Amino acid sequence: MVTNITKGQVFDLQKEDPELNSVFVGIGWDVGENDGTQFDLDACAFLMGSDGLVSEASDFIYFRNLRHPTGAVVHSGDNTTGDGEGDDEAITVDFSLLPDSVSRIAFTVSIYEAFERQQTFGQIRNAYIRFYDPEVGEIFRFDLGEEFSDDTAIVFGELVKKAEGGWAFAALGEGLQGGIIALSRRFGVFRK
């Protein structure tokens, strides 16, 4: 049975399966009614230390950097249309390969060229993130509401390393303006 979580909830990944070593993270969305303009959304993962910042550019996984050097986090590739059923983009996380310095992983989505195309998440419907294990099936799902009318980037949530071991997902559902640049600044890819 799939667990649906809501904004503010925390889901313990290893509670049901203590042997869980890797997960697939599927992210999907639909485009609402518009003038026929194409939407290109980009899923990203930011591998961070306890300070909430990436330590180097290779800790930012997105369409131009699909694989972390350790192989711990791998992006499926850029889906530039979002057409079709199911996940539009996916990210694999292998906990056994993560460096000890990584204590948090943020999962985000931004609209490519949102400012130029005058697009926001107010035009996006049915956005979600789900975690699944191919051997077991879907573990949980977090469906975003439609409260992000002016935003061009969303932080779905973060995987957080627990002090006693294992990982938990915190469903944040936070919107930002400024697309992938705003996300990169927030998580320390661009530091002053």
| CATH of residue 145 | 2.60.60.30
Per-residue pLDDT of 38-75, as tens digits, reads 788 899 999 999 999 999 999 999 999 999 999 999 99
* More reliable by pLDDT, 3 or 157: 157
Q: How confident is the model at residue 130 (pLDDT cuts 50, 70, 90)?
A: very high
Determine, yes or no, domain membership for 156. yes
Tell whether the model's pLDDT for residue 192 goes beyond 50.
no
Determine, yes or no, domain membership for 137. yes
Determine, yes or no, domain membership for 191. no
Instruction: Give CA–CA dist 1/10, Å, rounded.
Output: 18
Per-residue pLDDT of 92-108, as tens digits, reads 999 999 999 999 999 99
Instruction: Give CA–CA dist 61/71, Å, rounded.
Output: 11
Determine, yes or no, domain membership for 90. yes
Determine, yes or no, domain membership for 192. no
Count: domains in the chain = 1
Q: Give the amino acid at 32.
A: G
pTM > 0.85: yes or no: yes
Domain that holds residue 143: 3-186
Instruction: Give CA–CA dist 192/182, Å, rounded.
Output: 14
CA 14 to centroid of chain Cα atoms: 19
Determine, yes or no, domain membership for 81. yes
